Amino acid sequence: MEEELIRLYNGSKDSAMQMVDGKRVILGGFEEGLYSRKAAKALMVKYPGTVTISDDAGLLPQEAEVLKPKTLWVANVTGDPRYPAKIKKREFVDKRWTTYEDDNPVAKAMPLQEKALGSWFEYQGPGGLYSGREANKSYVIMPYRRVEMDVASARWFVNRSRPVGSHGSSEVYRKAIISRKSDFEPGPSWSLDELIAYLSYIDTNASLPPTEAKVRATAKRGHATKEAEDFKVLDAAREMRKRLYYYVVDPKVKLPTREEFEQFMLGVAGRPGDDNEALAEELVG
């Protein structure tokens, strides 16, 4: 008996990719495709809200409901270092339009908070039908954090967190996005050099900070103590984790699997055009 296939749609211009049973599964940008249930679920989990079941997938409503995610991750993306410090604004002042520069309100990381009014409901009481209201809900997402919410609340929160634009530019700078939680992500136990290598994998155009060896060499030239030297390395690693956070939570960024990253670190494989041997030599020595 042939396995039933699920038709998916990719709502992003970028391709969606996931490894399933050791094979690479890809759905092109703004394209539809047929996938096994396992592959369809894997793509939808990795790209929540972006890869969805096509409207004409032919599934029964209850079948489609099983594959839909029950929750979504919402990420606070204020303070993204790729955001400009200034934006252009336009206002009508003294009977004419004036364009000026102002601080970008989302250029610095900050907590996000939204309050939702409780829903009205009806209930039967001793004297007849009454109406009541559920308790208000407050959602808070701290900087560099993701929060898991039910699908409706997640989309509501992102819509409430209106993006910031700059006059004369099509770019928008978001406060919150529908995010993801991957199986393999950088963590506090990673060394500074591993974090730098991870950045070089996911963004070949990124400017790379000094490696651990260079940080220590600079500290030694300043006659720093061993404790001060270690602190500088830890501080540099902490700043790198903050920088990587914005890539990790962005569903449009292709993240490596553990195996892909380990091979990349060994200089065995990597992205096209990467000088893996040179990078490995600089990081590992």
Q: What is the pLDDT of residues 29-47, one digit of tens each?
A: 777 788 888 888 888 888 8
- Angstrom CA distances, 20 to 40, 165, 219, 259, stand at 10, 38, 45, 13
Torsion angle defined by CA atoms of residues 140, 146, 151 and 155, in that order, rounded to the nearest 10 degrees: 70
| β-pair partners for 43 | none
Mean pLDDT of the chain: 80
Residue 63 has a pLDDT of 47
Q: Which residues of 106-139 are buried (b: 16+ CB within 10 A; e: fewer)?
A: bbebeebebeeeeeeeeeeeeeeeeeeeeeeeeb
* Rounded Cα distance, 82 and 247, in Å: 11
The whole-angstrom distance between residue 277's C-alpha and the CA centroid of its chain comes to 29
Residue 134 has a pLDDT of 63
Q: Could you tell me which of 177, 166, 142 has the C-alpha nearest to residue 48?
A: 177
pLDDT at 273 over 70: no
Residue 233 has a pLDDT of 92
User: 160: which residues sit within 8 A by CB, 6+ positions away?
Assistant: 114
72, with CB counted inside 10 A (0-12, 13-18, 19+), is buried
Nearest 5°: the CA angle 143, 148, 151 is 125
Point out the least confidently predicted range of 18-32, 121-135, 199-213, 257-271: 121-135
pLDDT at 56 over 50: no
Q: Determine what percent of the chain is predicted with pLDDT higher than 70.
A: 79
Residue 64 has a pLDDT of 47
pTM over 0.85: no
Contact 230, 223 (CB under 8 A): no
Instruction: Tell me the per-residue pLDDT of 73-128, one tens digit each, with 9 for 90 and over.
Output: 999 999 999 998 988 887 777 778 878 788 888 899 999 988 876 566 666 667 77
Residue 3 has a pLDDT of 63
SS3 19: strand
Which DSSP letter does residue 211 get?
A: P
Residue 136 has a pLDDT of 67
Indicate the length of the chain as a whole number. 285
* 1-5, 55-59, 207-211: range with highest mean pLDDT: 207-211
| β-pair partners for 18 | 25
> pLDDT band at residue 276, thresholds of 50, 70 and 90?
very low
* Rounded Cα distance, 245 and 203, in Å: 13
SS3 51: strand
pLDDT at 10 over 70: yes
Amino acid at 53: I
